[in-house]
Structure 1
């Protein structure tokens, strides 16, 4: 793209003289013209010239007013402007520079001086364009990096990484870990193409992400067809157990709703366990984030001991939500490392108001699934 130079003067003679000088000094330049400051501002925004040669004394809007207006416009604020004037008064020169002019050239113009000012201004204009391009590329790169990082790191952890460059270990108390597993995933996936399987998981987990975020919980990771999230880690809740159950119900509802319109039918099993978790990164070379501890292990075992389309909860969670749900007591199950422990299924709601005590949270509006 060739160089664009806008020449502004209310005198046709001066326009012709300056245009001739520009054409001889910059042969490939595209010359634009305007007869007053108002028209100059319109032309500048429309064509975004590399340089503007602006006469001071013009009707309607003089050159000084035009320069001030152009410098206030984001599109033209960096465009170099050479002010041309018959006056050599020091006050005028000062005003021109204060308004944003790069050079001040007295009329009648001396050709050698004007050419030098033009070439210097164009060199600066080129440097400004290069810097803008580099800045835009850097911003685009940072945006892409942030998008990738936001997909694998919770927002508070991403902020920590940006500030400190690492993920420091931290214990979070009174959390509820959710494990979600797709029923008969291996047998079903063997009958699908790779593309269909990937699309199914992407659509399901995307909806899970939406539910998790809307319920003040945090997605931790996916493990094949399994999905892990936690409530009460980055959002302070009066009853994280209640919020965890509410979230699990909404995840189950999301699958049920999807099955109504999708040819591929899925069932899920959800296990919940409450307690403390430790979050950190275990790799010194890869940026990763995970949670650890007995609560995580027990949530996975609660899910393993669950039946399709059920929500299996621990005794501690049952105590915190029994006033809000009818609960089915299951036969106690033996769990590795813990012996035989009580387990419970969520049956149906008792209270219509089970909203978490957190600003901005919403209450349940859809009925729960009923056990057969």
Structure 2
């Protein structure tokens, strides 16, 4: 027969009152277990025997309170219950005091403090028992305080409101058990709620199912012949593909060590047979919801990773990799003095007539093809592209990372782009290249549109050397020529540079 709201309220109220006694009793039992374990560790046999008596009395006390909470307490029984509760408490106090007095010299001060805590908790519990169950207690004291009544009524309302079992989407459930009757029962119970149930009669068979099917929740028994449930749980949690699948252990084994071991190994819950179908449905539903939230999290993380990769690709298109790394590390202002670098300026000769006769789209396509080829060549020679200015291309060797052979790299890059544009345009276009070496300031400028650039007299002089150069050839400053190991193949000349005057320069092919 279904409980009425009044039945639920009365049980909740009795439980609420008994909880006042259960709290101190649980504290006494918990502390005493610690005391007993430490005394055993010290090797004091007589003290351990008395401590064991205290622990047994504490367990008896908890059992009495548990029975009272389960069956409820009526006023006519309170004197008997008070007497029954005081008996183990008196034993706890008596034996604890004996241990503290007889072995005071052998016990650490911290352990003696725990024993005194047990005695003190017992004194508080006795006072609580007398207040609720003593001869001077009012007849209505078992009804508890007004707050107890409100709490009990709240619980009754919540329980009466519905089953509380989540009615979410069904899932794919794998049941692993070596008993055919258990498999059939689980399959039928879970199937009634729309779950797609797959069964496996052994741990090895369950692993095969996991390898070929998508599973949302796993139910596993502990006692199986080929591999026990605890070992299977460890195998599943070690596999990166399966470790996030929720696992519920369902077993008739009532050993608390098995329960704790399974939970520690990653099980969501440990249900003892016979399992209430409503509880089973609730736990499976909860695990399904958790699994789906994890899957959503993985999808969100994958989307974030994809967008980050896209952002990285865009950043790498405009910024050097070392600069990106410094931005990620938290630097907000990137500016470096580079003592030795070689600046490369390249200007396409004959490009202006193309602008008059080519369609804008075709013109842009041709220029894009040329500069993309220059980008590839820059990467091959270890040169950093700085920017394009119209039909001019600017690069730097030795930034942002220093390079002892920056001049050699710059010359190799210059020769590569001269040859590439000659082949690409069949002689219709040529390129004029200028190189100069020296110190620069390199840094990141801008906020909404980052630009990595270089500044200084070295940059200005490289631009003037390029302008004074010869189409199809490479024009080098004396500073760059001095850094090159190859002494031959250079044609010395005197060049008139705007704003500088006559300087000694070199031409190379």
Q: TM-score range by the shorter chain?
A: 0.7 to 0.9
Q: Using structure 1 for the length normalisation, give the TM-score.
A: 0.83
Q: Which residue of 2 aligns with 1:41?
A: 207
1:221/1:43 Cα in 2 relative to 1: closer, same or farther (>3 Å)? farther
User: What is the CA distance between 1:311 and its match in structure 2?
Assistant: 0.7
Aligned mates of 1:189, 1:3 — CA distance in 2: 65
Question: Following superposition of structure 1 onto structure 2, how do residues 145-164 of structure 1 map, counting pairs within 5 Å?
Answer: 145-164=311-330
- 1:167 is paired with a residue whose SS is coil
1:317/1:126 Cα in 2 relative to 1: closer, same or farther (>3 Å)? same
1:282/1:95 Cα in 2 relative to 1: closer, same or farther (>3 Å)? closer
Contact 2:217–2:287 (8 Å) recurs in 1: yes
Q: Which residue of 1 aligns with 2:446?
A: 283
1:190/1:60 Cα in 2 relative to 1: closer, same or farther (>3 Å)? farther
More helix by share: 2
From 333, 340, 343, give the equivalent of 2:505: 343
Question: Following superposition of structure 1 onto structure 2, how do residues 228-307 of structure 1 map, counting pairs within 5 Å?
Answer: 228-256=394-422, 258-259=423-424, 266-307=429-470
Question: Following superposition of structure 1 onto structure 2, how do residues 123-272 of structure 1 map, counting pairs within 5 Å?
Answer: 123-256=289-422, 258-259=423-424, 266-272=429-435
Aligned mates of 1:265, 1:9 — CA distance in 2: 80
Aligned mates of 2:363, 2:247 — CA distance in 1: 60
1:46/1:254 Cα in 2 relative to 1: closer, same or farther (>3 Å)? farther
Aligned mates of 2:180, 2:213 — CA distance in 1: 21
From 172, 178, 197, give the equivalent of 1:31: 197
Aligned mates of 1:118, 1:198 — CA distance in 2: 62
Q: Which residue of 2 aligns with 1:8?
A: 176
1:74/1:200 Cα in 2 relative to 1: closer, same or farther (>3 Å)? farther
Contact 2:336–2:442 (8 Å) recurs in 1: yes
1:62/1:266 Cα in 2 relative to 1: closer, same or farther (>3 Å)? farther
User: What is the CA distance between 1:189 and its match in structure 2?
Assistant: 4.5
1:248/1:54 Cα in 2 relative to 1: closer, same or farther (>3 Å)? same
User: What is the CA distance between 1:245 and its match in structure 2?
Assistant: 1.4
From 91, 105, 113, give the equivalent of 2:271: 105
Runs of 5+ unmatched residues, structure 1? 348-372
More strand by share: 1
Aligned mates of 2:197, 2:209 — CA distance in 1: 11
Q: Which residue of 1 aligns with 2:484?
A: 321
Q: Using structure 2 for the length normalisation, give the TM-score.
A: 0.62
1:266/1:106 Cα in 2 relative to 1: closer, same or farther (>3 Å)? farther
User: What is the CA distance between 1:190 and its match in structure 2?
Assistant: 4.5
User: What is the CA distance between 1:71 and its match in structure 2?
Assistant: 1.0
How many pairs align?
Answer: 341
From 71, 76, 84, give the equivalent of 2:242: 76
- Farther-moved stretch of structure 1 (322-331 vs 303-312): 322-331
User: What is the CA distance between 1:107 and its match in structure 2?
Assistant: 2.0
- Farther-moved stretch of structure 1 (75-84 vs 132-141): 132-141
User: What is the CA distance between 1:149 and its match in structure 2?
Assistant: 0.7
User: What is the CA distance between 1:87 and its match in structure 2?
Assistant: 0.3
Contact 1:325–1:346 (8 Å) recurs in 2: no
1:104/1:240 Cα in 2 relative to 1: closer, same or farther (>3 Å)? same
User: What is the CA distance between 1:18 and its match in structure 2?
Assistant: 0.9
Contact 1:48–1:76 (8 Å) recurs in 2: no
1:165/1:287 Cα in 2 relative to 1: closer, same or farther (>3 Å)? farther
1:187/1:59 Cα in 2 relative to 1: closer, same or farther (>3 Å)? farther
Runs of 5+ unmatched residues, structure 2? 1-168
User: What is the CA distance between 1:152 and its match in structure 2?
Assistant: 0.7
Aligned mates of 1:10, 1:190 — CA distance in 2: 84
Q: Which residue of 2 aligns with 1:308?
A: 471
- 2:489 is paired with a residue whose SS is strand
1:32/1:324 Cα in 2 relative to 1: closer, same or farther (>3 Å)? farther
Contact 2:438–2:479 (8 Å) recurs in 1: no
Aligned mates of 2:218, 2:450 — CA distance in 1: 50
Contact 2:354–2:363 (8 Å) recurs in 1: no
Aligned mates of 1:31, 1:204 — CA distance in 2: 62
Which structure has the higher relative contact order (CA within 8 Å, separation 6+)?
A: 1
Contact 1:241–1:320 (8 Å) recurs in 2: yes
Contact 1:37–1:65 (8 Å) recurs in 2: no
- 2:174 is paired with a residue whose SS is strand
Contact 1:216–1:235 (8 Å) recurs in 2: no
